């Protein structure tokens, strides 16, 4: 999504009549545009930390996140990719922080604790373990219900993504609890931009014998 369409997404969120989350991959942002975006988002925590390590020649691969709360207020956030591929260095900005969204109501079945990552953030099992360890340290005893990974990946069967998915569901020893949640690979690997009848074989991962119950 071009960042200039932010107003369209915000308008959609404002017209809704219920709580909602909208997530969109953003077209590569020049560093100056990313810095301005961070400064313009009032709900981004500790804004200066989202710019650490950046230089003027960087471009940023990021996801935009819009949240419509029960009150009707709209909050906006941006989550940059943390682990660019080797061939993306030194072009792509390596983000250092992660947004972990935690519901005010932590009742199982009513809550939605979630996180958003970008493509190669799940290209290594070790990346996933570090993410889960950091999440547990930041929010002790808070389980993660959904992890959304935005991708443009031509091969969803690559071994590194399989290993990353396995690491996401490893026992929660010093890691955030994920057993009752799911991991969603939202993949758009089309060879050309625009509308198409073919999608990127998105994947929905969860423990095989896990069953969800609605309250």
Same domain as 111, residue 192: yes
Judgement on whether residues 35 and 57 belong to the same structural domain of the protein? yes
Q: What is the enclosing helix (H) or strand (E) of 130?
A: helix 125-138
| Whether residues 118 and 172 fall in one domain | yes
Residue 14 lies in a domain: yes
Residues 153, 193 contacting (CB under 8 angstroms): no
* The pLDDT of residue 39: 97
Q: Hey, which residues does 78 pair with through a beta bridge?
A: 64
Residue 187 bridge partners (DSSP): 151
Q: What residues make up the domain containing 25?
A: 1-88
Q: Are 116 and 146 in contact (CB under 8 A)?
A: no
**Last residue of one domain, picked from the residues 33, 66, 88:** 88
CB-side exposure of 52: number of CA atoms within 13 Å? 8
Residues 102 and 195 in one domain: yes
- Please calculate the CA angle 15-21-22 and round it to the nearest 5 degrees: 80
Q: Is residue 18 part of a domain?
A: yes
Is 184 inside any structural domain? Answer: yes
Tokens standing for residue 21: 């989350």
pLDDT for res 214 = 43
72 and 114 in a single domain? The answer is no
Q: pTM of this prediction?
A: 0.89
What is the domain count for the chain?
2
Residues 142, 48 share a domain? no
Do both 111 and 152 map to the same domain? yes
For residue 68, what pLDDT is reported? 94
178 within a domain of the structure (yes/no): yes
Please compute Rg for the chain using Cα positions: 17
Phi and psi at residue 59, to the nearest 5°? -115, 160
Same domain, 56 and 155: no
| Domain co-membership, 30 together with 12 | yes
Burial of 26 (0-12, 13-18, 19+ CB in 10 A): buried
Per-residue pLDDT of 49-101, as tens digits, reads 999 999 999 999 999 999 999 889 999 999 999 999 888 888 999 999 999 99
Task: Using the Cα atoms of residue 109, residue 113, residue 118 and residue 120 in order, give the sign of their dihedral.
Answer: negative
Domain membership of residue 71 (yes or no) is: yes
Partners of 30 in the β-ladder: 59
Residue 93: inside a domain: no
Identify whether residues 52 and 113 lie together within a single domain: no
The token duo for 212 is 């969800």
Q: Using 70 as the pLDDT threshold, list the residues of the chain that sit under it.
A: 189-199, 209-215
Residues 105 and 147 in one domain: yes
For residue 86, the model assigns a pLDDT of 85
Same-domain pairing of 108 and 61? no
Cβ atoms of 55 and 31 within 8 Å: the answer is yes
């Amino acid at each position: 999504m071009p960042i200039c369409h932010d107003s369209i997404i915000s308008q959609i969120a404002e017209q809704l009549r219920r709580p909602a989350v909208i997530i969109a991959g953003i077209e590569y942002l020049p560093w100056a545009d990313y810095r301005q975006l961070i400064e313009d988002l009032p709900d981004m925590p500790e804004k200066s930390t989202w710019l650490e390590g950046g230089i003027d020649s960087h471009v940023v691969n990021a996801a935009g996140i819009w949240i419509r709360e029960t009150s009707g207020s709209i909050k906006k956030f941006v989550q940059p990719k943390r682990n660019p591929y080797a061939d993306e260095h030194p072009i792509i900005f390596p983000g250092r922080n992660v947004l972990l969204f935690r519901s005010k109501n932590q009742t199982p079945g009513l809550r939605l604790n979630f996180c958003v990552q970008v493509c190669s953030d799940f290209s290594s099992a070790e990346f996933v373990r570090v993410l889960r360890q950091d999440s547990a340290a930041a929010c002790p005893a808070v389980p993660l219900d959904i992890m959304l990974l935005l991708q443009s990946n031509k091969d969803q069967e690559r071994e590194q993504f399989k290993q990353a998915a396995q690491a996401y569901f490893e026992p929660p020893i010093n890691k955030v609890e994920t057993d009752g949640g799911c991991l969603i690979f939202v993949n758009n690997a089309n060879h050309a931009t625009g509308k198409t009848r073919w999608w990127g074989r998105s994947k929905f991962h969860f423990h095989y014998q896990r069953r969800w119950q609605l309250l």
